[in-house]
């Protein structure tokens, strides 16, 4: 059984997705920048205010450089799941992973599959794929 879907991403959604998947990093970066700016305001230190702004800007520039291939414009991506593997196909590369490589994420898949998932998350991956296919119909 094969489940496939194709979707198009745009730069705005790529950045949103990154921030949603890395909330702790985004929060630490933002809190650090705001703290430096506020500390500079309270101490009346223009250098510290500028440094806080620089910390925020440097983080954003670094993030955009890291995600550069994904934020240059809309991209069409195809995701295919079978009983044996998970594949993605994008404009610049394709990846393939067996379900055993994704074992740490089995708990999330089992939760998405609905009732009957085990507490340990060691659910049979083929059953998860079958149930997710049923949900998507």
From residue 19, give the alpha-carbon distance in Å to each of 63, 80, 97, 100: 10, 24, 24, 27
Domain membership of residue 57 (yes or no) is yes
Sign of CA dihedral 96, 101, 105, 110: positive
Number of domains in the chain: 2
For residues 79-101, average pLDDT: 84
pLDDT, tens digit, 9 for 90 and up, residues 85-94: 888 888 888 8
Together in a domain, 95 and 117: yes
Q: Looking at the structure, do residues 104 and 56 belong to the same domain, yes or no?
A: no
**Residue 4 resides in a domain:** no
pLDDT band at 50 (very low <50, low <70, confident <90, very high): very high
The verdict on pTM exceeding 0.75 is no
Task: Quick: pLDDT tens for 14-45.
Answer: 889 888 988 998 999 999 999 999 999 999 99
Residues of the domain holding 35: 10-70
Residue 3 covered by a domain: no
Indicate whether 109 and 128 sit together in one domain. yes
CA–CA separation, 70 and 15 (whole Å): 9
Of 70, 95, 117, the residue at which a domain comes to its end is 70
Query: Which range among 21-35, 88-102, 103-117 has the greatest average pLDDT?
Result: 21-35
């Amino acid at each position: 059984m094969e489940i496939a879907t194709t979707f198009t991403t745009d730069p705005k959604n790529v950045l949103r997705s990154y921030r949603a998947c890395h909330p702790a990093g985004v929060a630490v970066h933002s809190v650090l920048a705001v703290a430096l700016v506020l500390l500079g305001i309270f101490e009346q230190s223009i250098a510290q205010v500028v440094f806080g702004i620089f910390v925020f800007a440097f983080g954003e520039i670094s993030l955009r450089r890291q995600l550069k291939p994904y934020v240059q414009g809309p991209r069409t991506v195809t995701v295919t799941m079978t009983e044996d593997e998970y594949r993605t196909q994008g404009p610049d590369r394709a990846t393939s992973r067996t379900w055993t490589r994704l074992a740490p994420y089995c708990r999330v898949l089992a939760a998405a599959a609905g009732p009957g998932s085990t507490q340990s998350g060691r659910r049979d991956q083929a059953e998860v794929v079958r149930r997710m296919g049923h949900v998507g119909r």
